[in-house]
Structure 1
Amino acid sequence: MKFEFFVECQTATRSYYDRYWQILEEAQLADELGWDSFGTSEQHFTPELFTTSAPEVFYPAVAMRTKRLRLRHGIRLLPYRVNHPLKIAEQMAMLDIVSNGRAELGTGRGNTFRMLSAFEVSPEDSRSQWEEALSMIPKMWTQDEFSWESKNFHIPPTHVVPKPIQKPHPAMWAAATNPDMYEIVGRKGIGLMTFKFGTPEQAEKDIAIYKKAVKKAEPVGDFVNDKAAWFLMCFCGETTEYARQLAKEPIMAFLNEAVRIYEELGGTGAKTYQYMSEVTKYKSMVNFDYLNDSDIIVVGDPETCRKKFQKYKDAGADELILRIDGMPHEKIM
């Protein structure tokens, strides 16, 4: 099983300058220690908890400080008012070049009403825009001349350069948090990143849905990426008691905000976001002890963490995306 070091500039002080430079140091150490990949999301207008609004700027800085880490966007937003697919294709190709073939594209449509409304994206349209851009980008990478005609795009014959150095193109992934999307992602033949707070037992059910669908994939790209990566909040310390002491406040701050934005977006009435409103049923369970005892988060000493990771491996996860953020920088190191 592979492991990704995932971080989103969570800082209670809002000293983004300090935190960005700390993350670069953390990524460099992760590279030296043998982690498999580095990831961050594209998040807009959410102070303190996830301030990663320009990953196309940050990833090349990580590339220059690392040698072997895969650099997986987790995620780039594909609604076209946020990111035009031509720009995503160009940026990813350049990242692939400067990283010597280590770039991977994780995609999504957005999970905050604040972002969607600011960029004037209708929640009702976000999934269709994601799907269309997802179909376009691999063609931009592999075709000498690209063109597209649809309701949303009128792109004349265009030479999209440079091209990625990975052949046929960088691996593609998508973020998902509900069974409907697991099926869609699998059918499209791209990797699954499950940004969901669930137990190992839930992970086994969700991953099985994806694995069944990906066997019948009609890939949007030139190959099938059939890997499932599960997201976990994580912190490993010298002792379990000490790890819990450091991790409780930042993890709960993140999770409480996640519940709030899910409720907000689920409350818009948009059909494809209705599942988010169900988080209300579980609000009473969002406390640190329940989450940790249920293995929904992984906090503890090395042996405790290893045993919890094993449960997700047994559930079918090919990779774990470990969000280690908000704790003191020297402790993360």
Structure 2
Amino acid sequence: MDFILMTEGDTPVGLTHEHRYRELIEEVLLAERVGFDAFGSSEQHVALGTASVSAPEVLYPYLMALTSRIRFIHLVTLLPTRMNHALRVAERVATEDILSNGRVELGTGRGNTTLALRAFEVDPSENKAQWREGIELIRSAFLNDVFSYVGEHYKIPPRSLVPKPLQGPYPPISAAAGSPSSVETAASMGIGAIMGGLYLGFDLVENMLKLYDTTLAATHHPHPITPRKMVAIAGGMHCAETTAQARTEAKPLFEMAKLSTDAYERLSKLSKDYAYMGAVKDIDFNDEEYMFERSQGFMVGDPEHCIEHVQRYADMGVEALVLRVDSLPHDQLMRSIELFGKYVIPRFKHPRNVVRSADDVLADIRAARPAHEEALRQYHANHTKETAR
């Protein structure tokens, strides 16, 4: 399983965006040191709280120059045509791929706030089709030299993409998938799906994972694909020395969750493509036990408690976890990243290297003795027979 650190530069009242960005840089550098596989941020525009990263394509190259191993994934690049022309996205990602030496991935979406959609004059009834055409255009530009595209929203004459990415067949592409319909679409296109984000529980995500597998297997793909089952912990991951401490420190994340989903019900009424978001109205964001343990939106606790949560996703077949680590004081975020990297990630990346207690090892030694003694008896019996001959 891959572990992806997500932060959106949520900036508390009284702090400057400049200061928060400097903190964010420190968090990413620490994440690389302690073993996270990738870093990602969403693309949020004119946001009121919860996020300040509006130009990840500018932020990432700066961080790429400061790092050597960690990958960078856009979580997500918005593909309504008024926000990002798909051909410009292809050019930017190819440039990032070169500058990072093949460490970039492209997550995509269509937008989930009325603030941003209305600011860019995006019609919520059209942006899903624009997103799909954008994916097709980007993939064609990456794969084909020369490429062209004709659709409802894009009509590109034969051209050659400059520059071209390093990764083959192209940098991995995925899509935000909050509904079963979106999961099916991603799987049918042969791209990764980033599932979760609605706080509706583990069963919904597990069903989405199964749907992704079924659809992917049932679809004929005439071109190279980059399938990947990803799950977002959208409310937040917070790891502390004790679960009680982690819960106490993480309570402010409930307000962030309420704010970030505030537009969902309104969006659900603007277009049938967003109808599934209306379910968020039934979530009780003040139910601490539900939110922390059953909503699927959080991973909060000491390292052992976090390991239990990660194992649940591993058992479902999840290939990457997107862990939002944000909206708390910088020192708490840094400690959370460090604890998760030191004690949780190794359990799934390098389990044989994790030091066990002496009592555990002695218990296994004692349990193994009868089999060893039986093997010795068999050896001596066979050796005696050979000598007798």
Unaligned runs of 5+ residues in structure 2 are: 335-389
1:213 maps onto 2:182 in alignment: no
TM-aligned CA deviation for residue 327 of structure 1: 1.4
Are 1:200 and 1:311, in contact at CA under 8 Å, matched by a contact in 2? no
Unaligned runs of 5+ residues in structure 1 are: none
Closer/same/farther in 2, CA of residues 286 and 273 from structure 1, 3 Å limit = farther
TM-aligned CA deviation for residue 206 of structure 1: 1.4
TM-aligned CA deviation for residue 119 of structure 1: 0.9
Q: Distance in 1 between matches of 2:215 and 2:137?
A: 21
Counterpart in the other structure of 1:298: 299
Are 2:195 and 2:232, in contact at CA under 8 Å, matched by a contact in 1? yes
Q: Which amino acid in the other structure matches residue 273 of structure 1?
A: Y
After superposing the two structures, state which structure 1 stretch, 169-178 or 313-322, moved more. 313-322
Q: Distance in 2 between matches of 1:63 and 1:216?
A: 38
SS in 2 for 1:214: helix
Are 1:203 and 1:315, in contact at CA under 8 Å, matched by a contact in 2? no
Counterpart in the other structure of 2:359: none
1:282-324 Cα shifts (integer Å, max 9, x gaps): 2x35533321132621111111111111111112211111001
Are 2:79 and 2:85, in contact at CA under 8 Å, matched by a contact in 1? yes
1:8 maps onto 2:11 in alignment: no
Q: Distance in 1 between matches of 2:84 and 2:62?
A: 20
Q: Which amino acid in the other structure matches residue 247 of structure 1?
A: A
Counterpart in the other structure of 1:26: 27
Question: 1:234-249 residue pairs with structure 2 within 5 A?
Answer: 234-249=237-252
Counterpart in the other structure of 2:104: 103
TM-aligned CA deviation for residue 169 of structure 1: 0.6
TM-score (structure 1 length as normaliser): 0.94
Q: Distance in 2 between matches of 1:159 and 1:318?
A: 34
TM-score (structure 2 length as normaliser): 0.81
SS in 1 for 2:19: helix
Counterpart in the other structure of 2:194: 193
TM-aligned CA deviation for residue 281 of structure 1: 2.2
Q: Distance in 2 between matches of 1:73 and 1:322?
A: 14
TM-aligned CA deviation for residue 219 of structure 1: 4.5
- Give the alignment partner of residue 257 of structure 2, picking from 255, 258, 267: 255
Larger helix share, 1 or 2: 2
Closer/same/farther in 2, CA of residues 202 and 149 from structure 1, 3 Å limit = closer
TM-aligned CA deviation for residue 257 of structure 1: 1.2
Question: What value does the CA root-mean-square deviation take over the aligned residues?
Answer: 1.6
Closer/same/farther in 2, CA of residues 294 and 73 from structure 1, 3 Å limit = same
Q: Distance in 1 between matches of 2:279 and 2:332?
A: 35
TM-aligned CA deviation for residue 188 of structure 1: 0.6
Q: Which amino acid in the other structure matches residue 75 of structure 2?
A: G
Q: Which amino acid in the other structure matches residue 237 of structure 2?
A: C
Q: Which amino acid in the other structure matches residue 287 of structure 2?
A: N
After superposing the two structures, state which structure 1 stretch, 78-87 or 284-293, moved more. 284-293
